[in-house]
Amino acid sequence: MKEEPDLLLKRSPSFSPGISSASKADQSLDTPALASTALRMSYRIARGEQGVLTFEPYKSAILPLWRFKTPAIATKSSEDLWKRFVQYGEAGDFVGQDMTRKFIQMGMTRAKRYANHKGGKKYEKADANGVKKELPKSTGHKDKEEKEEASRIFRGYWERCKEDETYTRLKEEFLKEQKEWDKDVKRASSGSALADTKEKLKPVAKRTASRR
């Protein structure tokens, strides 16, 4: 049976569960987050893989490297992603590194989903209250063992990402910079709101003064 990728992946024309292209893995590296502070500070590490399919332009740059259909394809894909992870680290681009880490983690979790659920379908359609019920895990489907092995392959690289010294250092620097950025934005926003309030109160102050 043909493997059905998730809905969000279906919307990405560059996605195919087949093997990644070596030429794409060897592309010259783009680091837009280093060129734009606003882009860099808009990135959120979040939880797990959150944001992996929405944060551009990194999503489109990394997605073509991500495949998990068979252990051989997962091996090639995880190697290409690890190479990209290291390249981003060498360039000092934490956003690129973390986005690549998310794709590696998603390789692990999505392959595991296909191992546990035939066709990768984990939930039933939402009921009238919008609640989705998880489907029972399936057993014995033909690609179950392949997907389990693919998940293990990605997991090995995911563990390496978490332990990487460059990644750890860049993450600390990024979080420190973002904390200060968020404070500045909050202060600027508060100051702007205060100025707006004073401007709105000017007519009231004039009317009050004229009555005295």
The helix-helix angle for 71-91 and 144-163 (nearest 10°) equals: 20
CA-based Rg of the chain, rounded to a whole angstrom?
23
CA 75 to CA 78: how far, in whole Å? 5
Task: For 12-55, write each residue's pLDDT tens digit.
Answer: 433 333 433 333 434 589 999 999 999 999 999 999 999 999 99
Distances (CA, A) of 59 to 100, 188, 209: 9, 30, 59
CA 107 to CA 37: how far, in whole Å? 29
pTM as predicted = 0.74
pLDDT at 44: 96
